């Protein structure tokens, strides 16, 4: 695959993976709504950084990366369910802990952008569903030389950053019109949805 084609493939793969409605996107929307645009953008860039890292691995390892995870779909789903459940429960406990106070949810507004970046970098890097998605991409890759590998990874990074930046800014804008009670309810609903995703992973087959 030539560098120009690899760049287009990276843009398409990055956008397709970023646009999936899952745990990371739900948590990103929650972060932007509850904590504002600065935290939302930082969270989105954390996700994009992790996606870029996976794209580099996929570009370098190619089909070998996909082969490592081949035949382990069941184990990946179970591990994903455990990780996702832990994220959801941790969030619900934090919300319940703040319920006794009359103020907003911890971290609102603003929060530390660096901490939010690091949190979403870790969440995305540890998300088995993201790993499985890039493993599938890696299995289909046939890049010709380092220039094509760099172009593919760059395409993924640009697409992921663009999508998550747009998502975070849109969610933050919507959050400005919400009362603290509504934002708290949205945070709870988001964590419950994450638990539902975990249940589907574990029992959905």
The rounded distance, in Å, linking the Cα atoms of 136 and 128 is 12
Token pair 């289909």 is at which residue? 140
| C-alpha distance across the termini of the chain, in Å | 35
Dihedral angle computed from the Cα positions of residues 178, 181, 187 and 189, in that order, rounded to the nearest 10 degrees: -100
Comparing CA positions, the residue from 54, 50, 26 lying closest to residue 40 is 26
pLDDT in tens, the chain (205 residues): 788 888 998 899 899 888 887 788 888 998 898 888 999 999 999 999 999 998 888 788 766 666 666 666 677 778 878 887 888 888 888 778 776 554 444 444 445 788 889 989 988 887 766 777 776 776 677 777 788 889 989 999 999 999 999 999 999 998 888 877 888 888 888 888 888 888 887 786 5
């Amino acid at each position: 695959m030539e560098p120009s084609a690899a760049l287009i493939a990276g843009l398409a793969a990055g956008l397709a993976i970023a646009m999936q409605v899952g745990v990371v996107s739900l948590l990103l929307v929650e972060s932007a709504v509850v904590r504002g645009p600065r935290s939302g953008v930082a969270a989105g860039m954390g996700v994009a950084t992790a996606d870029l890292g996976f794209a580099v691995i996929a570009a370098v390892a190619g089909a070998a990366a996909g082969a490592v995870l081949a035949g382990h779909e069941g184990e990946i789903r179970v591990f994903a369910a455990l990780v996702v459940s832990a994220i959801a429960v941790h969030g619900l406990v934090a919300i319940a802990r703040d319920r006794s106070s009359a103020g907003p949810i911890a971290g609102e507004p603003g929060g530390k952008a660096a901490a939010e970046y690091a949190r979403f970098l870790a969440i995305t890097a540890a998300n088995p569903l993201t790993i499985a998605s890039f493993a599938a991409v890696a299995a289909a890759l046939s890049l010709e030389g380092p220039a094509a590998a760099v172009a593919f990874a760059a395409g993924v990074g640009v697409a992921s950053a663009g999508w998550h930046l747009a998502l975070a800014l849109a969610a933050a804008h919507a959050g400005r019109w919400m009362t603290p009670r509504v934002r708290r309810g949205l945070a709870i609903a988001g964590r419950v949805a994450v638990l539902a995703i975990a249940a589907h992973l574990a029992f959905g087959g």
